[in-house]
């Protein structure tokens, strides 16, 4: 059996290792056009920022390692030029000596990864405009910064790489500006979540422009400033294109391998392409959503390792099958953590779900134990009560919670199930009702009980379209400092005595700082016979953030 693999980062090397574990007799060869293999691309922003001191720590394995450990031959700087699925032959060029040769295969695994999206911007070829995709590009960027004593940077795009580079640039004293063409930063998140990110990085001294894009890099051999669509000009000493990635499908497409609706290689659950003996995995391959079952493209190292292992298993006679993904992601921004899993509100509504949305602001552990607030936005389907997606912005314990939510969604949990989870509790780690459990309680009350919610966006729309009474249940000093426009201040402890002054037939919205006392006020009014009472999701704190 001859198993050939094209590509040697996360997916390709995982495929090779799994195939070897299944079959000691197969001939397994990997061809890689780059100089590095099995590296951590996700660690490159931290190498540039200095928290990862050595580039070698991101490239712990080389060709000799795979030969000695797995008896797998890895050929670096060998570019596969073509694939002939009919004759089961690939053509390979040795980039060092220029020689070209062919190799036949029984099974072929394509793991060509992804490449940076490079927008067609005039001047993008200037010698201080870079993109970060691999080890080589990371070294070039770091060397340029050091050699030119760079003090200012402009980053185009605010995905994971863009935000991580912004943190690392700023941490090393480089004045940083982000330009994002979408209307808010971190566009994979909902806007009412990204506003927390925008507020935070502003306080950290990072500038950003949203709803704008670069049309030209101006200057001589080096760009001196970026011209924006809005007419603004932003000066910098280094410019980074972080506009995302797209699957590297050139080789596959030219071989007649089917490309899916996402633009990545179409595969089945066995990672097979339309040619039964050709598999695709990693960032070049299409995934599918655990929730909708539809194709999605969400390239991450974790998914690449997983799909590579499945492809290697199937190519060597195994039975592993791909079960889809949720698109779970997480990144660090100074001491803030931002995480997401499943569908956003916008995505869920686009899929036709009748969404219940909550904003749960709770500490990760008691304040006396050093707890800090996290904001959890949860989306659920009212019809099935199934949890659809979670977004979290916080400081400590975000990774723990997002993984619990991801597990729950994967196994089809309903909102009521979250309260019944037996989660670990001790004051250094959690509150007695963990934020995960509390999120389930709020959703359950909203869907199955009378404790309806209204989001800040929903409140603004409703207030502008019809008659509404808004009750601020906080103490007067908090109301005087800031309040929802049109709200009447009736502190919680006085509400029972004031009910007769209110209209029980009019839509009533209650709120407090974060939602708990607002819910208590809501309960009073419901029990007093008010027809429609809704608590403001996330309270005044979430409302005030939505106005920024």
Q: Which residues are catalytic?
A: 42
Question: CA 357 to CA 447: how far, in whole Å?
Answer: 10
DSSP 266: P
d(CA 111, CA 89): 17
Phi, psi of 393 (to 5 degrees): -125, 120
Question: SS3 for 435?
Answer: helix
Q: Are 9 and 304 in contact (CB under 8 A)?
A: yes
CA proximity to 456, closest of 193, 208, 99, 141? 193
492 contact partners, CB below 8 Å, separation of at least 6: 473, 474, 512, 517, 520, 521, 524
- Residues contacting 235, CB < 8 A, separation 6+: 152, 224, 225
d(C-alpha 45, C-alpha 170), whole Å: 12
Helices vs. strands in the chain: H and E counts, helices first:
17, 30
Contacts of residue 144, Cβ cutoff 8 Å, sequence gap at least 6: 128, 130, 150, 238
Question: Looking at 382-438, which runs of residues are DSSP E strands?
Answer: 387-394
3-state per-residue secondary structure call for 267-311: CCCCCECCCCCEEECHHHECEEECCCCCEECCCCHHHHHHHHHHH
Alpha carbon 412 to its chain centroid, in Å, reads 21
Phi and psi of 188, rounded to 5°?
A: -75, -15
Contact 368, 427 (CB under 8 A): yes
CA 514 – CA 355 distance, rounded (Å): 21
Cα(428)–Cα(419) distance, integer angstroms: 20
Strands 152-156 and 278-280: unpaired
Contact 200, 166 (CB under 8 A): no
Residues 378/382/383/386 CA torsion (nearest 10 deg): 20
Q: Phi and psi at residue 2, in whole multiples of 5°?
A: -110, 115
Show the beta-strand stretches assigned E in 144-251. Answer: 152-156, 175-180, 207-210, 214-219, 223-228, 233-235, 238-241, 245-247
């Amino acid at each position: 059996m001859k198993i050939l693999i094209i590509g040697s980062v996360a997916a390709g090397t995982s495929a090779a290792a799994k195939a070897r574990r299944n079959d000691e007799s197969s001939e397994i060869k990997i061809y890689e056009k780059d100089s590095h293999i099995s590296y951590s691309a996700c660690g490159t922003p931290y190498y540039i920022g200095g928290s990862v001191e050595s580039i070698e720590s991101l490239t712990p394995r080389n060709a000799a390692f795979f030969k000695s450990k797995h008896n797998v031959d890895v050929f670096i700087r060998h570019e596969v030029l073509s694939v002939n699925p009919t004759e089961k032959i690939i053509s390979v060029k040795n980039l060092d000596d220029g020689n070209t040769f062919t190799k036949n295969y029984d099974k072929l695994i394509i793991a060509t990864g992804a490449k940076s999206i490079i927008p067609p911007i005039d001047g993008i070829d200037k010698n201080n405009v870079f993109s970060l995709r691999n080890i080589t590009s990371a070294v070039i960027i770091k060397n340029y910064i050091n050699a030119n004593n760079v003090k200012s940077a402009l980053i185009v795009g605010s995905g994971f790489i863009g935000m991580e580079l912004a943190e690392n640039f700023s941490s090393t004293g480089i004045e940083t500006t982000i330009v994002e063409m979408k209307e808010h930063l971190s566009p994979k998140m909902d806007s009412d979540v990204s506003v927390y990110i925008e507020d935070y990085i502003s306080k950290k001294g990072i500038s950003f422009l949203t709803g704008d894009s670069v049309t030209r890099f101006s200057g001589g051999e080096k760009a001196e400033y970026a011209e924006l669509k809005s007419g603004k000009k932003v000066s910098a000493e280094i410019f980074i294109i972080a506009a995302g990635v797209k699957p590297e499908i050139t080789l596959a497409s030219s071989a007649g391998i089917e490309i899916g609706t996402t633009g990545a290689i179409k595969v089945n659950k066995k990672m097979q392409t339309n040619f039964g003996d050709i598999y695709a995995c990693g960032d070049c391959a299409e995934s599918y959503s655990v929730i909708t079952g539809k194709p999605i493209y969400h390239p991450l190292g974790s998914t690449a390792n997983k799909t590579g292992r499945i492809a290697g298993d199937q190519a060597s006679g195994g039975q592993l099958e791909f079960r889809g993904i949720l698109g779970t992601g997480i990144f660090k921004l100074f001491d803030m953590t931002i995480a997401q899993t499943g569908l956003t509100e916008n995505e869920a509504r686009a899929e036709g779900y009748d969404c219940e949305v909550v904003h749960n602001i709770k500490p990760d552990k008691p304040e006396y134990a050093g707890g800090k607030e996290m904001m959890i936005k949860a989306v659920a389907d009212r019809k099935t009560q199934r949890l659809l997606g979670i977004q979290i912005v916080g400081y400590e314990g975000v990774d723990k919670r997002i993984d619990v939510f991801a597990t729950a969604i994967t196994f089809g949990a309903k909102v009521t199930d979250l309260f019944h989870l037996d989660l670990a509790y001790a004051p250094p780690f959690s509150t007695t009702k963990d934020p995960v459990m509390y999120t389930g309680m709020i959703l359950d009350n909203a869907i199955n009980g009378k404790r309806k919610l209204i989001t800040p966006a929903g409140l603004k729309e409703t207030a502008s379209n019809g008659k509404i009474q808004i009750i601020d249940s906080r103490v007067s000093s908090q109301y005087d400092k800031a309040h929802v426009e049109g709200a009447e201040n009736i502190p919680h402890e006085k509400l029972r005595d004031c009910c007769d002054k209110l209209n029980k037939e009019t839509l009533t919205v209650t709120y407090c700082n974060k939602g708990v006392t607002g819910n208590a006020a809501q309960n009073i009014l419901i029990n007093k016979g008010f027809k429609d009472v809704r608590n403001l999701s996330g309270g005044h704190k979430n409302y005030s953030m939505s106005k920024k």
